[in-house]
Structure 1
Amino acid sequence: MKLLTLNFLTCAVKACKSSSASFPLHPKECELVSDTIAPNPKLIYNILPRVDWNALVVTASELGFPSLPPAAPTQEELEKDENMMSELHTLLLETSVSEGMLVCGNCGHEYRVKEGIANFLLPNHLV
């Protein structure tokens, strides 16, 4: 599961739907893998406006990535800063979670990730 995907996932437990603590899901004991993908600046420019930057900063810090700026960089800033562009490309497109868990900050439910696929099926008492 690409790290970018984590920016769009929230807890599936019904009681968490109204809580802001259920997003983002927090990685726990995750094994990361990296795939080499050709750089595509236009893709990064188009993805950034759709990304919840604060959630990305939290996820990146929990996984031990270099700290990101407090605000999302603009296209002009990325065009000037090749290092930032490279870091975002690596973080969003090349890094994947292959094994581990995603934990809800509200209810603490753990979603298992196995072979890069997160299991979001809930037990009956949580549906």
Structure 2
Amino acid sequence: MANNNNSDLAFRSSLLCLAAVMLVVGLWTHSFRKMVATYFMGLAGIAGVLLPDWEFFDRDVSQWAQPVTVDDIRPDDVLRPRSTRRKNSERDAERRRRSSARSGERGGEMRLLTHNMLSSNIKGVTNGFPLKIEPEKVVEKQVDMNSDFLRNIFSKIEWKAFVDAAKALGYSELPEEADATLIDSQDFLTKFHHALLEIHLEEGALVCPETGRRFPVNKGIPNMLLHEDEV
């Protein structure tokens, strides 16, 4: 490698000297022909110097020093000082750590709204809804009430399954039957909102009504993944 570097240095130095000589000749004589003659004579001289180093000419092109291309340059690395890039990287890493910590503390949100839309998809199951609830830990989280949302979602709720799920989590203030006339009642909307969005299954399990297969709920997140023989 040392010989290769020396040869490269000699070649580049020779070219620089040749360019300097050509410039001097051109300025001194004002003759293009003499500049061309100087160029070819200089090349011959360079070849005479480097010809004994056959490895210089036989060297694989991949071993030559490659120039830096535009693709190798990141604009941020060029425009921002190194110290600034390091500080920004540390700040981004700290932000990600805090976000992960908040996500871990908050966990999932297994509301009765979510439960009302889940079913067992085990192969061969024809009646996988509603999933039975085996609660171990139930929490309440206050949520701002949106009456328009409640009125719109009401028609999409399977009411009997919703009432049974609320009872399983310890809330029995909902009517056994409900129709569209109740959505104009503020008292009903308040109870509906509380059961739908504020009661959470934090720990426990959801059970397939047909097979008895248990889907665990951990930190408010239901694990509905199936085994290979269940798909």
Give the TM-score of the pair, scaled to structure 1: 0.86
Alignment partners' CA distance in 2, 1:56 and 1:77: 16
Identity of aligned residues (%): 33
Aligned 8 A contact 2:183 2:189 in 1: yes
Q: May I ask how many residue pairs the two structures share in their alignment?
A: 122
Structure possessing the higher relative contact order (Cα contacts under 8 Å, 6 or more residues apart): 1
Structure 1 residue 96 displacement after superposition: 1.4
1:7 aligns with 2:112: no
Residue 38 (structure 1) aligns with? 144
Q: Secondary structure at the match of 1:15?
A: coil
Aligned 8 A contact 2:116 2:158 in 1: yes
Alignment partners' CA distance in 2, 1:39 and 1:51: 17
- Select the structure that is richer in strand: 1
Q: Secondary structure at the match of 1:83?
A: helix
Gaps (5+ residues) in structure 1?
A: none
Q: Larger Cα Rg: Structure 1 or Structure 2?
A: 2
- Select the structure that is richer in helix: 2
Gaps (5+ residues) in structure 2?
A: 1-109
Which of these residues, 201, 207, 211, is aligned with residue 97 of structure 1? 201
Q: Deviations over 1:7-51 (max 9, x none)?
A: 0110021121x22xx211011033122111111111100010111
Aligned CA RMSD, in angstroms, stands at 1.5
Residue 135 (structure 2) aligns with? 29
Aligned 8 A contact 1:10 1:25 in 2: yes
Aligned 8 A contact 1:98 1:116 in 2: yes
Give the TM-score of the pair, scaled to structure 2: 0.50
Alignment partners' CA distance in 2, 1:71 and 1:2: 20
Residue 121 (structure 1) aligns with? 225
